[in-house]
Homo-oligomer: A and B are copies of this chain.
Amino acid sequence: MNPKLDLVLERTIDVKPELVWKAWTTPEYLMKWFTPAPWKTVECKVDLRPGGMFHTVMESPEGQKFPNTGCFLEVVTNRKLVWTDALEPGYRPTARKLGTDAPFFMTAVVTIEPHGAIGTKYTATAIHGTEDGRGKHEAMGFYHGWGAALDQLVALAKTM
């Protein structure tokens, strides 16, 4: 973790690691929590293996769609999930140009550790290539956004 380049959300939540994993890796669940309301996630594809596709489409309250396609890098069941949008599926370097088509690229590392009898220590790290990328992501509302999405994940997991 490099504080000049990375953003980190760390929380303990009263949900089992297995349910956090299921919420992250099952499209029908992910679509219910991944994007803070009133935004929605309207599409999701998960090919859960290194090199596999992670695709989402977010929709603004005005109906504008924001597709994002990335590539999984590490898949450790119930413990760790890593993906990046600097690569497309099959590890292909992303065609979008940084600073023109894409405000920044990031790699996300989600770690899920057992905490107490039924809880999870949840850590989500967004890794950027530049301080500018980190700054733009923070200005877009990283802490609020990822935190609100996690609240939604916890609420959903309690119904699963």
CB-defined contacts of A93 to chain B, threshold 8 Å: 84, 86, 98, 104-107, 127-129, 133
A116 CB-CB contact with B under 8 Å: no
Number of identical monomers bound together in the oligomeric complex? 2
Chain A contact patch, size range: 20 to 34
Distance, CA A107 to CA B50, complexed state (A): 14
Cβ distance A104 to chain B, nearest Cβ, rounded Å: 8
CB-defined contacts of A106 to chain B, threshold 8 Å: 93
A31 CB-CB contact with B under 8 Å: no
**Interface digits, A85-117 against B, CB 8 Å rule (1 contact, 0 not)?**
011101111110111000011110100000000
Candidates B5, B91, B99; contact of A84 at CB < 8 Å: B91
Which residues of A in the span 61-105 have a Cβ within 8 Å of any Cβ on B? 73-74, 82, 84, 86-88, 90-95, 97-99, 104-105
